[in-house]
């Protein structure tokens, strides 16, 4: 399964290769190292947790086949398929691969237990008779050949490429115990000549190590599979069928057969199959899977709806606008998958350590063996040296180190997606932790981004409804946003509009029309003055609206001002709460806007922002970000992702407000799908929780090896007579990986909102 995207700007392509045969972080490090050395490769990220290699390359110098060949030459394989990859196909492959892996591990484990339990019993009985040794040899050999074959084949591949990994450690440890025991069994007289004691065999150690490692790998496989639950749950939300209306007939089609322009019907309680726009009917739609918002969104004619969201009590028809891989749900899945395959900068520590760890362990193991052969009493010299040698090799596996960062990122980014927060990658997660200043764009970020009618002031014999009726009738043919706000307000009150004639629109001023034989003018103050309309009766209201940052629309009938309406880009419901929450997190909050200073000041005052930068052009926003950065601030820019793109890209963290149609903004690091500013704080909390988990994981992995290797080498034996058994070492190694993954899974329960 291969994913390829062409970057038309840089002329580079990216490919995702699903790799099979990786067993530890050292495996991933070796593949990454060899790919980076390949001609034409610009960047490589091999993720041990997801079994994927994301490669950026120059298509003029190399291609997918060459990259696949490099992976195979390194000793691993690439899963191939003839179909073009989609998120569903990738997850389907990963899930099938996990299931196959678990089935194979189960079979090997069961086989190892059936043959290994008698070996373990004989070993514990310390029956040193020759028949017991021969029986153990006969039972152990098939276990190593079948249950342990992956360790030995992996070690052989590493040896051919002059490298070492986890398989090398396991193969050397168990192989040494097995070969030594086999020689003792076949040539017992040789050892009796060298030693007065009957030499013990260590078949049970080799068998127990293999069985425990398989058990640990099975537990780890199950735990790692749980880290992808977020994407799988998102994908499971997509309906399989759609009800399409063709020539007045309702037909049930598979969702993949729906095309742009199809008219679809959604009944109460059904899932919406694809993205589109409502053309008739009305309902409340549960969009929580998309936005994280628990309250349903009311949908009526002209509103957007999104695939996999759940329809409420009403039925409606809509036109398909985005299908297949273009739907909002598929965009979310792609962003989350990209994030889960990424690395945080902190992982570089683990990568460096993993790359040199195994060779260092081999040296330590050899030194340990030589030391015990030199220092131990002659009667137990070989046993002590072999026990310490095997224990060091087994306990030092770097699996936990390789899982520490990616498993936390997988769970953390999945948690974010479930809460309406899309995080581009591990680097974004790590940088969000360091934010000191949040700069908020006003329009579309703090506010809704479009004006709504806020005030109606009627004069004389006119009342609010009659004023709104004639004003909306005059504006119904205008495409101006203020006109749309007035017309929408009239419709929401159920006011019937009249037809107009002689409609004339003067850009930036207003409209001149005739309604029910009355000459009607609707526009700004200048438009009224140009037409000699007295505005003295409404001057007080005009001043009040101006101070509040609202836009006034004056209506005159037959040359007399009959009222004034006010419209404003209203503040989003939770903006003030979000600003206060940012302050509670110790962040500086700044508002940046191209609007006039009066309007900006009014908005800022209402939500509690004291630092306001108004009348700032898009290019100047970029310079404002740079000035804060020059002062040492770590800046997060929050904008709607359109004219804010330069500023979003310049900021240390760019956070875009999603609108459903642009949920995967290229310029931003984080996207808030619901448009709720509280998501900024949630993203920072998630970043803190994820980074805390990564540091815990790395600490566990490092401290485990720092303590475990010396104990396995026997440093406690001279004073405390404690010698670590290879079986205990293998159990500890297996449980260390499981503990790291389990710790990462706790992120699913973190409260971030």
Please, what's the largest Cα pairwise distance for the chain? 126
Asked if 283 and 314 count as a contact pair (C-beta separation under 8 A), the reply is: yes
- Own/partner pairs for 486-489, CB < 8 Å, 24+ apart? 486/453, 486/553, 486/565, 486/567, 488/452, 488/453, 489/452, 489/453
Structure tokens at 169: 């450690």
Q: In what order do the strands lie in the sheet with 510-515?
A: 452-458, 560-568, 551-557, 518-523, 510-515, 500-506
Give yes or no for a contact between 81 and 97, defined as CB atoms under 8 angstroms apart: no
Helix axes 229-236, 328-340, angle to 10 degrees: 170
What would the 3-class secondary structure string for 158-193 be? HHHCCCCCHHHHHHHHHHHHHHHHHHHHHCHHHHHH
Q: Judge contact between 647 and 638, C-beta under 8 A.
A: no
485, exposed or middle or buried, with CB in 10 Å at 0-12, 13-18, 19+? buried
| Residue entry with tokens 């969000």 | 432
Which residues make Cβ contacts (< 8 Å) with residue 461, sequence separation at least 6? none
63: Cα separation from own chain's centroid = 28
**Is residue 207 within 8 Å of 390, Cβ to Cβ?**
no
Query: Among candidates 64, 751, 46, which has minimal Cα distance to 419?
Result: 751
> Could you tell me if 195 and 378 are in contact, meaning their C-beta atoms sit under 8 angstroms apart?
yes
Do 339 and 228 form a contact (C-beta atoms < 8 A)? no
**Residue 473 — φ and ψ, nearest 5°?**
-65, -40
Contact (Cβ atoms closer than 8 angstroms) between residue 295 and residue 245: no
Residues marked active site are found at 441
The closest of 52, 56, 21 to 40, measured between CA atoms, is 56
> Token pair for residue 598?
């009066």
Rounded CA Rg of the chain = 34
Phi/psi of residue 164, each to 5°?
A: -145, 150
204 contacts 178 by C-beta, under 8 angstroms: no
Tracing tokens 């306990």 back to the chain, one arrives at: 395
Q: How far apart are CA 519 and CA 624, in angstroms?
A: 48
The answer to whether 54 and 69 have CB atoms below 8 angstroms apart is no
Beta partners for residue 57, in sequence order = 13, 41
Distance CA 178, CA 167 (A): 16
Q: What is the rounded distance in angstroms from the CA atom of residue 621 to the CA atom of residue 650? A: 10
Give the closest residue to 141 by CA, choosing from 187, 200, 181.
181
Residues 6+ apart with CB under 8 A from 179: none
Question: For the purposes of burial, counting CB atoms within 10 Å of the CB of 620, is it exposed (0-12), middle (13-18) or buried (19 or more)?
Answer: middle
Cα 20 to Cα 408: distance, rounded to the nearest angstrom: 22
């Amino acid at each position: 399964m291969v994913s390829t995207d062409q970057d038309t700007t840089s002329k580079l392509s990216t490919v995702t290769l699903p790799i099979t045969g990786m067993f530890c972080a050292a495996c991933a490090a070796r593949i990454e190292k060899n790919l980076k050395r390949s001609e034409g490769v610009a960047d490589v990220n091999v993720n041990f947790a997801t079994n994927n290699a994301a490669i950026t390359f120059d298509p003029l110098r190399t291609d997918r086949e060459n990259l696949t060949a490099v992976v195979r030459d390194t000793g691993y394989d690439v899963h191939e398929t003839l179909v073009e990859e989609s998120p569903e196909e990738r997850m389907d492959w990963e899930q099938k691969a996990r299931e196959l892996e678990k089935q194979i591990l189960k079979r090997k484990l069961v086989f190892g237990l059936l043959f290994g339990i008698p070996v373990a019993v004989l070993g514990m009985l310390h029956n040193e008779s020759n028949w017991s040794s021969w029986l153990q040899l006969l039972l152990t050999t098939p276990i190593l050949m079948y249950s342990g074959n992956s360790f030995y084949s992996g070690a052989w591949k590493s040896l051919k490429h002059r490298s070492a990994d986890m398989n090398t450690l396991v193969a050397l440890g168990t192989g040494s115990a097995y070969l030594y025991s086999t020689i003792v069994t076949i040539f017992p007289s040789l050892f009796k000549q060298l030693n007065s004691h009957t030499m013990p065999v260590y078949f049970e150690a080799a068998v127990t190590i293999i069985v425990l490692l398989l058990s640990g790998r099975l537990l780890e496989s199950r735990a790692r599979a749980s880290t992808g639950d977020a994407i799988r749950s998102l994908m499971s939300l997509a309906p399989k069928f759609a009800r399409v209306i063709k020539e007045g007939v309702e037909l049930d089609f598979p969702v993949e057969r729906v095309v742009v322009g199809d008219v679809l019907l959604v009944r109460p309680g059904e899932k919406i199959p694809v993205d589109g726009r409502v053309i008739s009917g009305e309902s409340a739609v549960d969009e929580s899977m998309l936005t994280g918002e628990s309250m349903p969104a009311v949908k009526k004619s002209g509103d957007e709806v999104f695939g996999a969201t759940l329809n409420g009590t009403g039925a409606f028809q809509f036109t398909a606008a985005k299908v297949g891989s273009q739907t909002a749900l598929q965009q979310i899945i792609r962003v989350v998958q990209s994030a889960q395959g990424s690395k945080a900068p902190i992982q570089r520590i683990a990568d460096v350590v993993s790359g040199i760890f195994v060779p260092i362990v081999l040296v330590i193991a050899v030194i340990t063996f030589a030391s015990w052969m030199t220092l131990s009493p002659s009667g137990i010299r070989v046993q002590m040296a072999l026990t310490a040698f095997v224990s060091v090799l087994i306990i030092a596996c770097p699996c936990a180190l390789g899982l520490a960062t990616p498993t936390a990122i997988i769970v953390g980014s999945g948690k974010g997606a479930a809460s309406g927060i899309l995080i581009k990658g591990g680097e974004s997660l790590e940088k969000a932790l360091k934010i000191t200043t949040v700069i908020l764009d006003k329009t579309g970020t703090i506010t809704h981004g479009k004006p709504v009618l806020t005030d109606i002031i009627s004069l004389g014999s006119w009342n609010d409804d009659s004023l709104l009726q004639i004003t909306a009738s005059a504006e119904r043919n205008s495409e101006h946003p203020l006109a749309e706000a007035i017309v929408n307000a009239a419709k929401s009150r159920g006011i019937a509009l009249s037809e107009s004639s002689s409609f004339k629109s003067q850009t930036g001023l207003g409209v001149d029309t005739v309604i029910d034989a009355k000459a009607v003018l609707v526009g700004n103050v200048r438009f009224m003055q140009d037409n000699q309309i007295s505005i003295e009766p409404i001057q007080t209201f005009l001043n009040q609206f101006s101070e509040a940052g609202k836009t006034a629309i004056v209506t005159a009938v037959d040359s007399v001002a009959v009222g004034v309406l006010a419209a404003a880009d209203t503040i989003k419901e939770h903006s003030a709460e979000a600003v206060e929450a940012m302050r509670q997190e110790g962040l500086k909050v700044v508002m940046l806007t191209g609007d006039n200073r009066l309007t900006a000041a009014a908005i800022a005052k209402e939500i509690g922002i004291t630092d306001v930068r108004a009348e700032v052009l898009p290019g100047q926003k970029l310079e404002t970000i740079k000035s804060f950065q020059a002062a040492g601030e770590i800046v997060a820019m929050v904008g709607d992702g359109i004219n804010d793109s330069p500023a979003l890209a310049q900021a240390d963290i760019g956070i875009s407000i999603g609108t459903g149609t642009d949920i995967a903004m290229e310029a931003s690091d984080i996207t808030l799908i619901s448009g709720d500013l509280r998501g900024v704080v949630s993203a920072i909390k998630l970043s803190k929780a994820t980074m805390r988990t990564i540091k815990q994981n790395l600490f566990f992995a490092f401290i485990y090896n720092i303590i475990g290797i010396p104990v396995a080498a026997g440093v406690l034996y001279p004073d405390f007579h404690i010698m670590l058994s290879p079986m205990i070492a293998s159990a500890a190694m297996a449980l260390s990986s499981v503990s790291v993954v389990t710790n990462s899974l706790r992120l699913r329960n973190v409260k971030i909102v």
